[in-house]
């Protein structure tokens, strides 16, 4: 074992002791990543690749992680698994919550789509009691948009016995502005809901930290 290896092991031991004795709150983002990656150098590379955004880091797929120097397939899988545990823990408290408004939709969906680098369209299905019945991803696309398949939307609505539907999609850019195409698509689905016996309660645009309700903006 050379001097470099000894120093690396000493650094790992120091990080672990700091984590145990001082607590996670005192650790920096890189300290925490270093614990997961097993290397402060790889942790620094991850933060550099993500332009310093921890939100971006936790959305990296295993294939993206493999592109970081020093991360092989096994380590990438381990890191991605740790990030997935975080996302599932975030969702655990939101299993079948009551949905009364756009804010409830945002709380339920932000962990899933708020930090994505591409757009996804989801529908939150709500029953008579205002309890969420299910959340379904309808489509996904690039940065510029996604398309709605009404057949899929209403197939789930009938199967679940839903009363209300909430559309929601994310804006990776962080902007809460909606396009004419977004509004037109929303109107089409709202009309279809009326014909088929459902109610389109809202269409919520979600970013990593905020949301916009089309209902509240009088766009529906």
Q: What are phi and psi of 62, to 5 degrees?
A: -60, -35
Domains of the chain (ranges; CATH) run: 3-92 (1.10.150.20), 102-213 (3.40.140.10)
Quote the tokens at residue 63: 């294939």
Structure confidence at residue 88 as a pLDDT band (50, 70, 90): confident
* pTM, rounded to two decimals: 0.62
* pLDDT digit string, tens, across residues 116-134: 888 999 999 999 889 999 9
Tell how many helices (H) and how many strands (E) occur in the chain: 9, 5
Cα–Cα distances (Å) from 181 to 26, 65, 178, 185, 188, in that order, read 46, 34, 8, 6, 11
* pLDDT digit string, tens, across residues 5-53: 434 444 555 656 666 766 666 677 778 888 877 778 888 888 888 787 8
| Sheet of 164-170, strands arranged across | 132-140, 120-126, 164-170, 199-206, 211-213
Note whether 120 and 113 are within 8 A (CB).
Answer: yes
Which residue, chain included where needed, has tokens 């948009």? 145
Structure confidence at residue 87 as a pLDDT band (50, 70, 90): confident
């Amino acid at each position: 074992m050379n001097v470099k290896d000894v120093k690396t092991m000493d650094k790992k031991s120091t990080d672990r002791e700091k984590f145990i004795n001082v607590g996670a709150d005192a650790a920096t983002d890189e300290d925490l990543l270093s614990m997961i990656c097993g290397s402060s150098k790889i942790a620094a590379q991850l933060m550099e690749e993500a332009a310093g955004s921890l939100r971006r880091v936790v959305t990296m797929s295993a294939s993206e992680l493999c592109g970081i120097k020093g991360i092989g397939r096994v380590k990438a899988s381990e890191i991605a698994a740790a990030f997935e545990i975080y996302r599932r823990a975030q969702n655990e408290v939101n299993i079948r919550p009551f949905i009364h408004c756009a804010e409830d939709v945002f709380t339920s969906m932000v962990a899933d789509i708020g930090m994505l680098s591409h757009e996804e369209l989801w529908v939150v299905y709500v029953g008579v009691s205002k309890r969420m019945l299910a959340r379904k991803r309808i489509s996904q696309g690039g940065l510029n948009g996604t398309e709605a398949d009404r057949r899929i939307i209403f197939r789930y609505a009938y199967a679940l016995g839903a009363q209300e539907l909430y559309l929601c999609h994310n804006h990776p850019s962080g902007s809460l502005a909606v396009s004419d195409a977004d509004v037109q698509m929303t109107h089409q689905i709202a009309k279809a809901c009326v014909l088929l016996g459902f109610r389109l309660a809202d269409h919520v645009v979600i970013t990593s930290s905020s949301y916009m309700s089309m209902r509240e903006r009088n766009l529906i």
